């Protein structure tokens, strides 16, 4: 037996040595070639946040699990099926955050933001986690951004949220986006609607899926959100929430539609839209993108959550927000072949030969960067030809070459890549000379652009004149023809 144990141990050690580590199921790496899409998306989100005066908040990845059970809803799919829940070594029940809104409300209460001027406007972005079945473009770790406004009940904020989302899609050049809209009422009108809905669904209970049969007892409104085909058929004929709103909810929803009409955002009223989270009240909305084949995919959504702050231990505080899946937007950008972020490229390349030159180059690199000049280098390469080839690839305008002799003399060779000319410059004057050359090149490029624009304008004017002349000739020809015909007819 001891021999067998030893053999097994050896086998296990061999397996461990051979094991190739990969990402955990449902997780993935976002590689450098994908980053331009993500950079573009982040820059657009940041700009919209600044334009609309939303302050960034960074939230922890790990939260108390009860925050989502009480906030998002214990019966929702997110909490009942998809949450990453575990105990810490200290015995605390925690989870990886599955969404951002409850965390924002927790921070709002914890840090005394309720005494700040209203509305309190906050934005966030980062990874979320849901233990869902991984699919193409759908991961257990996914990225979301969101905007939340707390402390204001006017429908103008609902409209502004939608406006912000549409501006983001437009800035990313994502087309064919449709806004789906509904109102699900409040605590005053929803109970009577729920009774009506339960009565309707009970008569068709046999046609519902097992989850919806359970939801009938816990949260009947969630049945409207079911994606099962047999349930959608039943739900299509169900009583509509908008027909059973109280006067306050009706006024709020009418105001929202008027605001959207004013800012010319088209919308599709969808009576079955309730969103899959328990905290929503009044306005709910989702954004869908349609592809060339007519298939629709959700990009994000949001709505009002006027009772969530109270649910989590705070005073009555109206609030509204929306969130979008960043992964989904990146996929949409790829499918529609939109422009990506183009980072500024270095105009100066620093080439070096030898150890002494490398030390000098490191100092020159730091000095150039400090003055705001972007520099590219390849300190690991010793071959001058490969370094010049690299400079050509990145389209550098100037190459600074420091060899052993230049390092000892305190000089550098400045090579102009456009003209091919080069000269030796003392190191203490190198920054001044580089700036001078770059400025000269920039002015020359501006001049060329102006000349091209002037030539284009000249050609356009010339073409316009030709068209006018041709049109005039045609008109004269027509008039001559007409006069000839008249003369002929008179003679007859």
Q: Which residues pair with 125 in a beta bridge?
A: 145
Question: Is 210 within a domain?
Answer: yes
How many angstroms separate the CA atoms of 171 and 48, rounded? 10
How many angstroms separate the CA atoms of 447 and 454, rounded? 10
Are 320 and 352 found together in one domain? no
Q: Tell me which residue has tokens 């079911």.
A: 226
How many angstroms separate the CA atoms of 324 and 317, rounded? 23
How many angstroms separate the CA atoms of 41 and 329, rounded? 8
Using alpha carbons only, give the angle 337, 340, 341 rounded to the nearest 5 degrees.
Answer: 175
The answer to whether the CB of 368 falls within 8 A of the CB of 435 is no
Final residue of a structural domain among 224, 242, 260: 242
Query: What does the pLDDT look like over 306-316, one tens digit per residue?
Result: 999 999 999 99
Are 184 and 220 found together in one domain? no
151: Cβ contacts below 8 Å, ≥ 6 apart: 114, 118, 119, 120, 317, 318, 319
Instruction: Give Rg (Cα) of the chain.
Output: 33
Question: Is 167 within a domain?
Answer: yes
Are 271 and 325 found together in one domain? yes
| Number of CB atoms found within 10 A of residue 237's CB | 8
Q: What is the pLDDT of residue 421?
A: 83
Are 280 and 268 found together in one domain? yes
How many angstroms separate the CA atoms of 191 and 249, rounded? 14
Query: What does the pLDDT look like over 231-243, one tens digit per residue?
Result: 888 888 888 999 9
**Using N-to-C axis directions, what is the helix angle for 35-51 and 326-335, rounded to 10°?**
120
Are 258 and 402 found together in one domain? no
Question: Is 168 within a domain?
Answer: yes
Are 325 and 202 found together in one domain? no
**Using N-to-C axis directions, what is the helix angle for 190-202 and 210-218, rounded to 10°?**
140
Final residue of a structural domain among 310, 335, 360: 335
Are 321 and 419 found together in one domain? no
Q: Minimal CA–CA distance to 303: which of 287, 323, 315, 320?
A: 320
Final residue of a structural domain among 242, 269, 284: 242
Given a cut of 50, the residues of the chain with pLDDT beneath it are none
Q: What is the pLDDT of residue 486?
A: 62
How many residues comprise the chain? 492
Are 148 and 180 found together in one domain? yes
281: Cβ contacts below 8 Å, ≥ 6 apart: 184, 185, 186, 187, 303, 304, 305, 306, 307
3-state secondary structure the chain: CHHHHHHHHHHHHHHHHHCCCCCCCCCCCCCHHHHHHHHHHHHHHHHHHHHCCCEECCCCCEEEHHHHHHHHHCCCHHHHCCCEEEECCCCCEEEECCCCHHHHHHHHHHCCHHHCCCCEEEEEEEEEECCCCCECCECCEEEEEEEEEECCCCHHHHHHHHHHHHHHHHHCCCCCEEEEEEECCCCCCHHHHHHHHHHHHHCCHHHCCHHHHHHHHHCHHHHHHCCCHHHHHHHCCCCCHHHHCCHHHHHHHHHHHHHHHHCCCCCEECCCCCCCCCCCEEEEEEEEEECCCCCEEEEEEEEECCCHHHHCCCCCCCEEEEEEEHHHHHHHHHHCCCCCCCCCCCCEEEEECCHHHHHHHHHHHHHHHHCCCCEEECCCCCCHHHHHHHHHHCCCCEEEEECHHHHHHCEEEEEECCCCCEEEEEHHHHHHHHHHHHHHHHHHHHHHHHHHHHHHHHHHHHHHHHHHHHHHHHHHHHHHHHHHHHHHHHHC
Question: Is 452 within a domain?
Answer: no
Are 220 and 268 found together in one domain? no
How many angstroms separate the CA atoms of 235 and 204, rounded? 10
Sign of the torsion formed by the C-alpha atoms of 218, 219, 223 and 227 = negative
Q: What is the pLDDT of residue 164?
A: 97
Q: What is the pTM of this model?
A: 0.79
Question: Is 8 within a domain?
Answer: no
Question: Is 487 within a domain?
Answer: no
**What is the side-by-side strand order in the sheet with 62-64?**
62-64, 93-96, 84-87
Question: Is 474 within a domain?
Answer: no
Q: What is the pLDDT of residue 484?
A: 60
CATH code (residue 172): 3.30.930.10
Q: What is the pLDDT of residue 160?
A: 96
Question: Is 305 within a domain?
Answer: yes
Structure tokens at 385: 């030809």
Cis? peptide before 119, omega within 30° of 0? yes
Are 103 and 229 found together in one domain? no
Q: What is the pLDDT of residue 417?
A: 83
Are 330 and 253 found together in one domain? yes
Phi then psi for 76, rounded to 5 degrees? -70, 155
Are 237 and 381 found together in one domain? no
The answer to whether the CB of 267 falls within 8 A of the CB of 181 is yes
**Using N-to-C axis directions, what is the helix angle for 155-171 and 35-51, rounded to 10°?**
150
CATH code (residue 376): 3.40.50.800
Q: How many domains does the chain have?
A: 3
Structural domain span for residue 392: 348-438
């Amino acid at each position: 037996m001891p021999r067998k144990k030893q053999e097994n141990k050896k086998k296990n050690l061999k397996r461990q040595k051979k094991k190739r580590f990969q990402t955990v199921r449902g997780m993935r790496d976002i590689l450098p070639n994908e980053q331009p899409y993500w950079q573009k998306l982040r820059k657009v989100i940041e700009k919209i946040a600044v334009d609309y005066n939303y302050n960034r908040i960074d939230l922890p990845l790990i939260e108390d699990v009860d925050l989502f059970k009480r906030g998002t809803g214990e019966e929702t799919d997110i909490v009942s099926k998809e949450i990453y829940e575990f105990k810490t070594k200290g015995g605390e029940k925690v989870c990886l955050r599955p969404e951002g809104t409850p965390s924002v409300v927790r921070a709002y209460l914890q840090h005394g933001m309720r005494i700040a001027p209203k509305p309190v406007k906050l934005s966030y972005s980062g990874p979320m986690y849901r233990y869902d079945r991984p699919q193409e473009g759908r991961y257990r770790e996914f990225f979301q951004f969101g905007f939340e406004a707390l402390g204001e009940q006017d429908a103008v904020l609902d409209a502004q949220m939608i406006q912000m989302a549409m501006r983001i899609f437009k800035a990313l050049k994502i087309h064919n986006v449709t806004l789906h809209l509904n109102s699900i009422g409040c605590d005053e009108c929803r109970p009577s609607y729920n009774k009506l809905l339960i009565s309707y669904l009970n008569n068709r209970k046999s046609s519902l899926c097992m989850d919806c049969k359970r939801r009938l007892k816990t949260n009947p409104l969630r049945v409207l959100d079911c994606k099962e085909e047999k349930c959608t058929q039943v739900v299509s004929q169900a009583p509509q929430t908008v027909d059973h709103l109280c006067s306050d909810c009706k006024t709020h929803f009418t105001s929202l539609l008027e605001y959207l009409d004013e800012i010319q955002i088209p919308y599709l009223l969808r009576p079955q839209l309730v969103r899959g989270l328990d905290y929503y009240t009044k306005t709910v909305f989702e954004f869908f993108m349609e592809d060339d084949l007519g298939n629709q995919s959700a990009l994000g959504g949001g709505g009002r959550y006027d009772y969530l702050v109270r649910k989590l231990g705070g005073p009555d505080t109206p609030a509204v927000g929306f969130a979008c899946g960043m992964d989904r937007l990146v996929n949409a950008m790829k499918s529609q072949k939109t422009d990506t972020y183009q980072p500024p490229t270095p105009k100066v390349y620093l080439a070096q030969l030898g150890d002494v030159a490398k030390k000098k180059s490191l100092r020159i690199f730091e000095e150039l960067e400090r003055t705001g000049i972007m520099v590219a280098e390849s300190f690991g390469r010793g071959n001058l030809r490969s370094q010049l080839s690299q400079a050509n690839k990145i389209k550098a305008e100037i190459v600074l070459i420091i060899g052993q002799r230049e390092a000892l003399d305190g000089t550098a060779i400045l090579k102009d890549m456009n003209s091919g000319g080069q000269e030796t410059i003392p190191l203490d004057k190198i920054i001044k000379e580089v700036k001078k050359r770059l400025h000269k090149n920039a002015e020359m490029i501006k001049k060329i652009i102006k000349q091209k624009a002037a030539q284009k304008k000249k050609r356009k004017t010339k073409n316009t004149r030709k068209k006018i002349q041709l049109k005039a000739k045609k008109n004269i020809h027509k008039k001559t023809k007409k006069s000839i015909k008249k003369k002929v007819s008179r003679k007859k």
